């Protein structure tokens, strides 16, 4: 029997002969991730060895091949392959936040035939994700995206919105119920700022695991849209259709031109008035829209 100390849980486990770190962790309820089910096809069960590297048997060929691009100092191990042979202290690197369950949802469900409503529309996109993902294993690509969407669900849900559509490394979220009013614009901006802060805090995690980080780009627009259920069966979704949606997508993309993270439209500025602290950017043409448009960069939480 050899003792394994799991961090950050600070749980000590007495292991059986030949047991892997993953098997030991799951036996006692340590929530070690394993997206591929323990087949050394991903790296979500990876740990960093804090003390007692000799307490783990040498990595088998499949583990060594997976970790070769990441394991310059030899301290990273896969929990599904690292077999315990002596005392060792390891730190889990993939940690799920259990308190990120979405607690607020859009309760005013539109009727299936659709209704026109005033909505706040938020588009968000991970900048540089295509290049970022080229160096990752397929399981890790999905894992990173799901972590991003967990952050997004939490940020959107806290402000009464819901994600309506996923688009690879981006999404559209809607804010607003049957009562209309100007609050959807305020909620969408607050959710956008929350998401930017959450991704900022996530960067340390990404650098630790993958040696690089990501940025998020957010655009918010406010106006009328037809909201209803589209599709059939399990693919059915509640979404919005209209110019406000297309414009919000173009506003998000305009962040690249200005080097900003959160841009909003003039309609958002009009709706929020002096509650919003925003800086006007030079007028810009938006693809598919006539004329030039003034967008506003937001950096602080609106009142």
Secondary structure of residue 103 in the 3-state scheme: coil
Q: Tens-digit pLDDT profile for the chain (303 aa)? A: 799 999 999 999 999 988 999 999 999 999 898 878 888 888 889 999 999 999 999 999 999 998 888 776 789 999 999 999 999 999 998 775 433 333 233 334 444 445 778 999 999 999 989 988 888 888 889 889 999 999 999 999 999 999 999 998 999 999 985 554 558 999 999 999 999 999 999 999 888 888 889 999 999 999 998 887 777 676 777 788 889 999 999 999 999 999 999 999 999 999 998 889 999 999 999 998 889 999 999 988 776
- The residue among 156, 151, 153, 249 whose CA lies nearest residue 201 is 151
Residue 46 burial by CB count (10 A; 0-12/13-18/19+): exposed, middle or buried?
buried
Q: How many CB atoms lie within 10 A of CB 295?
A: 29
Q: In terms of DSSP bridges, do strands 2-7 and 11-15 run parallel, antiparallel, or are they unpaired?
A: antiparallel
DSSP secondary structure letter of residue 119: E
Position 155 scores a pLDDT of 96
Residue 186 burial by CB count (10 A; 0-12/13-18/19+): exposed, middle or buried?
buried
Domains of the chain: 2-92 (3.10.20.30), 99-298 (3.30.70.1230)
> Which residues, including other chains, have CB under 8 Å from residue 53's CB and lie 6 or more apart?
74, 75, 88
Cβ atoms of 118 and 184 closer than 8 Å: yes
């Amino acid at each position: 029997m050899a003792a394994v100390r799991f961090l950050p849980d600070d749980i000590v486990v007495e292991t059986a002969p030949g047991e892997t770190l993953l098997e030991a962790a799951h036996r006692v309820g340590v929530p070690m991730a394993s997206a591929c089910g323990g087949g050394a096809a991903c790296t979500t069960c990876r740990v960093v060895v804090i003390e007692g590297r000799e307490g783990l048997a040498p990595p088998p060929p499949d583990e060594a091949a997976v970790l070769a691009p990441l394991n310059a100092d030899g301290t990273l191990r896969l929990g599904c392959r690292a077999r315990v042979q002596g005392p060792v202290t390891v730190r889990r690197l993939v940690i799920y936040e259990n308190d990120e369950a979405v607690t607020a949802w859009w309760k005013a469900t539109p009727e299936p035939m659709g209704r026109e409503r005033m909505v706040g529309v938020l588009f968000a996109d991970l900048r540089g994700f295509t290049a970022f993902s080229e160096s990752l294993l397929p399981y890790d690509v999905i894992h990173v995206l799901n972590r991003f969407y967990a952050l997004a669900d939490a940020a959107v849900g806290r402000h009464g919105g819901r994600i309506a559509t996923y688009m690879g490394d981006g999404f559209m979220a809607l804010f607003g119920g049957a009562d209309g009013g100007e609050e959807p614009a305020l909620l969408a901006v607050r959710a956008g700022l929350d998401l930017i802060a959450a991704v900022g805090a996530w960067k340390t995690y990404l650098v630790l695991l993958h040696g690089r980080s990501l940025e998020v780009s957010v655009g918010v627009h406010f106006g009328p849209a037809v909201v209803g259920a589209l599709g059939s069966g399990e693919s059915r979704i509640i979404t919005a259709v209209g110019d406000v949606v297309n414009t919000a997508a173009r506003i998000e993309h305009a962040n690249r031109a200005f080097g900003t993270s959160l841009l909003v439209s003039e309609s958002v500025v009009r709706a929020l008035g002096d509650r919003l602290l925003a800086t006007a950017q030079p007028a810009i043409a938006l693809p598919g829209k006539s004329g030039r448009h003034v967008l506003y960069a937001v950096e602080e939480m609106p009142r």
